Chain A
Amino acid sequence: MTQYGFYFDSTRCTGCRTCEMACKDYNDLPATYAFRRVYDYEGGDWTDNGDGTFTPATFAYHVSAACNHCAAPACVANCPQGALDKDPDTGLVLHDDEKCIGCATCVNSCPYEVPVVDTELMKSRKCDGCSARLAEDKQPICVEACPLRALEFGDIDELRAAHPEAVDGIAPLAAPDATTPSVAILACPAAKEPGDTTGTIANPKEVANA
């Protein structure tokens, strides 16, 4: 089976959120939630040298994350309605609105907190890899949007082969062992391992899906 996924170059990402806003525009999402989000992850501290000067030991970087279309998706495994399934040809995790009852089990299962329940529709929603655009031989809207050319989409095996230095995850994303995410990330010099405790998500309100 072909497994589609995203490649993300964190050495290029400037945290601009264009990917996120292109997605929100295309999917006509409200201000309150997003299918792709940009985390600002940062940490470190400053030393006061006592002579009016300071020395920083700080880091900051960004992670743009959408659905990772995991090989072993927890949302699919846990959905009581069978409303989530992997497409047999693309491996994309797709959502059946008819079956969904908006119970948020997927939201709570996903280690990446990707699905969100739209409380007006009472349905969960998430990135479908822009399936409609793929059907027209187009790239996902976020990939074509990135001004820094930091996103790619395709057969994840091919992406990993094209970017042999890429890893399966960096903080603040969850460790990849639970769900085997279909994502390849080029780590920037500042990047920390998943599970890192030296930094924090600096923009919790911006990435909160409400």
Chain B
Amino acid sequence: MTESKATVSRRTFVTGSLAGLAVASATGALYGCTPAADDDLAATGEGAETAPDTVAWSQCVVNCGGACALQWHIRDGKIAYAETDNVGDPNGLQARACLRGRSLRRWINSPDRLQHPMKRVGKRGEGKFEQISWDEAYQIIADKLKSVIDTYGNEAVYMNYGSGVSSSTSRLFPRLANLMGGYLKSYNDYSTNMMCAGMPFLYGDACSPYDNVSASSISEAQNADLIIMFGNSPAETRMGGANIAWDFAQVREKGGKIYHVDYRMNETASGHPDEWLPIRTGTDAALVSAIAHELIVNNQVNKEFLDTYCVGFDEATMPESARGQHKSYQDYIMGTGYDMVEKTPEWAAPITQIPAARIRELASEIANAKALFVAQGWGPQRHSNGENTSRAICMLPILTGMIGKPGTNTGMREAEAGGLVGSIPAGKNPVEVAINCYQWLNAVDHGATMTAARDGVRGANALSSGIKFIWNYGGNCITNQHSDINLVHDILQDESKLEFLVVVDTVMTDSAKYADILLPDAMRAEQFHMANNGYAEYYLGVLVGEKAQDAPGEALPEYEFMTGIADKLGLKDAFTEGKTQEQWIEELYRQSADAIEGMPTWEEILEQHHFKMEAPAAIGFADFVADPTANPLETPSGKIEIYSERLDQMIAELELAEGDNIFPIPVFDPGFNGYGSVNEEFPLYCSGFHHKSRTHSSYGGVEELKQVARQQMWINPLDAEARSIENGDKCRVKSAVGELEIEALVTPRIIPGTIGIPQGSWHEADMDGDRVDKGACINTITPYHPSPLAKGNGVHSLIVQVTKA
């Protein structure tokens, strides 16, 4: 830790460079800008001095995709306030924390922090615990882990999805479990589940939402004259000062025309209302299909690109197995194949709620763009039809050949640059079997009957066991961030199904209430730590942070208590390799610093703490477009497969639920709870969205954030008026599976017929009573209906009724 120049001593204050401010010092002592010094000054009067601040560098490590820097100002051993990254050019690369990072000390120093290991004493989910010793916790966990593996095998052990901590030394359970023969693996994640399943069929197996090969860096949009964002609002999802919100502001200032296709006038479009193209949630593929229709009938598709780089636009490039069957994309659009409906703007208008004339205008703008940058956020794919929608959005750059060239993008979300340092290795998992991360609840309930064809089991035709042991670290996907919380509650009540749940967290989340053993984690500010730049931030960086204060009570760094459990299992040496957490961090850092030119030495990073370097700009699929023979995509044909023969074959082998569909081409299919599903009982569509007050459910307990960015349901004045709802009214929102209570924000910023609820708010219901969620967690009302292909969380497809409470 370094002593800050920002001392608050009175001497510095009055001898500062602005002499006139001495007036302020005389009066500001009681309530001035120097919080922790106030009491001292007030107590000792004029001329008193306080100890100077010390400053410790740290990071916000939740899962927004950023990793903003914090400089903790510490007084009397306690964090007093934060500064953020103020190093370098203010208009350049500064990882400035958003409102959440600026509220992190309220979380760290919250009286609600978990302080002791605890054992459940009530019914599971009741939230009743008794304090136990760390030693007892280690022994119980070690014994249970061994007995589950002995009784059911390693496939019965599972690490639940969770993303609340991104750090080089976090999420260590896989390392321990792999030393014991492994655990049931999971694939995909709650962010990009449907996209991860669908996109490989279009763009190849290497296609990932997390690289800078499949997509262009956001800076490339500065070279575009038309930028279309589908459900992509960096001002709400990627808010930090080195993140896409700032990058996008610079894109706008370059002057290209921008459209936000979104059911809300999101915060990225706020201030610029002409950028908003409102669309009914879940119908992006219908808009795309109608635009495709216009491009086709007006001879505006880039036929040369389609013939050279793609398979299946029209009959000319269809694979042998599908020739002469009217299965091309053009057949779908022109009504000569599939549903035999011509996808005119008039067809799309009532589906999307966008007037046909407006669709034609947009098609014309797209056809005339010199450089088109299309990027989709992860909301459009988080629908029951997400596997189709994510591919469909990519059809705009494909049809126009706007891929691989300056100012273009592939239709994926803007690129990610990676990071500089690695993590403590997890080792190799000997278990090959995997489920979709969203399928854990089914695997608890009836795992032994789950199959590859019906449930998406990978690595085997079926699971050998249900899940009996779950490790849940720094995540809230047991209830809050999963779906159908009421169903989860009921299934977890049966202890013959899930036998043991360990939750590790810093506060009592809703998921933590279901723990059999609950362990209190130290936060990054309470230990030596290291992490990369955020995955969504387009630069390369690392921050080596210090311990700013002691953890409360008996809370421990994860590395320490995992070592304690390993010790009980006789695996301590194998787990630690004889190293402390500090030594791991040093080793991991040195490995990177030795390999990457320009990184500071270990000794230097201990002085400067934060290192940042520019990442080279990227154009998605530039190599493929430059030379498709030398750089083929990882599809069977090596080309963009608008029609995927491979997917067509796979569909034949799947056992789909009634009403669930997947198509070998990117079509508009409404999907479960999608367009057309509303009825008298549930007449409104409802979608979740990311809200500034939280990252998922992280920060959800911070009162200061709840006040300044309230948990509110967005509802159009037309829908509110019909229900006599006024701005600020308390309302009930009901779906087929649950009910919640929430304040209304009556706003023209949302399309009629659809309401929006910020995701991540903390569930708060009497589970033995009416189960009405007063915390307004959207997953109280999202049904558990895994999507057709991914078996993922298409939870933005939702129908509800709203009433005034």
Contact = CB atoms under 8 A, between A and B. Distances in A.
Interface of A: 10-18, 20-22, 24-28, 30-32, 34, 38, 42-46, 48-49, 51-56, 58-62, 85, 87-90, 92, 94-98, 118, 121, 123, 125, 128, 130-138, 141, 144-149, 188-191, 202-206
Nearest to B278: A56
Nearest to A98: B27
Nearest to A127: B33
B323 interface: no
A144 B265 CA distance: 27
25 contacts: A16-B98, A17-B708, A18-B98, A24-B708, A25-B105, A27-B33, A44-B273, A48-B718, A53-B356, A54-B752, A62-B270, A128-B28, A128-B33, A135-B13, A135-B16, A136-B5, A137-B16, A144-B84, A145-B102, A147-B96, A149-B249, A190-B272, A202-B727, A203-B745, A206-B707
A45 B751 contact: no
B6 A94 contact: no
Nearest to B274: A189
Interface stretch (B18-26, B180-188, B397-405): B18-26
Nearest to A28: B35
A60 B270 contact: yes
B308 to A, nearest CB: 37
Contact of B17 (A30, A128, A135, A190): A135
A149 B21 contact: no
A89 B708 CA distance: 34
Contacts of A134: 16, 18, 21
Interface in B208-241: 235-236, 239-241
B255 interface: no
A205 B28 CA distance: 29
B33 A125 contact: no
A2 B447 CA distance: 73
B249 to A, nearest CB: 5
Contacts of B563: none
Q: Which 3 A-B pairs have the closest CB atoms?
A: A89-B20, A135-B16, A52-B350
A56 B276 contact: yes
B26 to A, nearest CB: 8
B703 A31 contact: yes
B97 A135 contact: no
A133 B73 CA distance: 14
Contact of B267 (A14, A90, A95, A204): A14
Interface in B6-52: 6, 8, 12-14, 16-21, 23-36
A60 B704 CA distance: 24
B24 A87 contact: yes
Contacts of B252: 11
A21 B23 CA distance: 26
Interface string B419-438: 00000000000000000000
Nearest to A32: B707
A200 B358 CA distance: 28
A20 B8 CA distance: 22
Nearest to B268: A14
Given A60-B270, A132-B8, A89 B246 contact: no
A132 B692 contact: no
A56 B671 CA distance: 27
Interface in B95-110: 96-100, 102-103, 105-106
Contact of A147 (B27, B246, B358): B246
Nearest to B95: A147
Nearest to A89: B20
Contacts of A48: 718, 752
Contacts of A206: 707-710
A44 B748 contact: yes
Given A38-B708, A147-B98, 17 more contacts: A24-B103, A24-B708, A27-B35, A31-B707, A51-B350, A52-B349, A55-B358, A60-B271, A87-B21, A90-B21, A95-B27, A96-B26, A123-B30, A134-B18, A135-B24, A144-B84, A144-B90
Contacts of B704: 21, 24, 30-31
B349 A58 contact: no
Interface in B472-526: none
Contacts of B34: 132
B660 interface: no
A21 B68 CA distance: 15
Nearest to A9: B249
B249 A148 contact: yes
B708 A20 contact: yes
B547 interface: no
Most buried by B among A18, A27, A44, A94: A18
B86 interface: yes
What interface size band does chain B fall in?
35 or more
A90 B18 contact: yes
Contacts of A15: 235, 267, 270, 692
A36 B272 CA distance: 23
A203 B749 CA distance: 13
B16 A54 contact: no
B783 to A, nearest CB: 26
B779 interface: no
A11 B271 contact: yes
A184 to B, nearest CB: 17
Contact of B748 (A45, A49, A51): A45
Contacts of B236: 14
Nearest to B86: A144
Given A128-B24, A148-B246, A26 B33 contact: yes
Contacts of A21: 99-100, 102-103, 704-705, 708
B570 interface: no
Contacts of B29: 97
Contact of B245 (A46, A89, A148, A191): A148
A134 B34 CA distance: 12
B728 interface: yes
B79 to A, nearest CB: 10
Contacts of B749: 42, 58, 60
B24 A136 contact: no
B495 to A, nearest CB: 39
B273 A189 contact: yes
B25 A189 contact: no
Contacts of B28: 94-95, 97, 128, 131-132
A12 to B, nearest CB: 5
A23 to B, nearest CB: 9
Contacts of A51: 349-350, 355
A123 B31 CA distance: 9
Contact of B23 (A42, A62, A94, A188): A94
A108 to B, nearest CB: 20
Contact of A46 (B20, B25, B274, B716): B716
Interface in B751-776: 751-752
B239 A147 contact: yes
B332 to A, nearest CB: 22
B25 A135 contact: yes
A190 B273 contact: yes
A95 B26 CA distance: 10
Contacts of A14: 235-236, 239, 245, 267-268, 270-271
B202 interface: no
B135 to A, nearest CB: 38
Contact of A205 (B25, B267, B349, B728): B728
Contacts of B18: 89-90, 131, 134-135
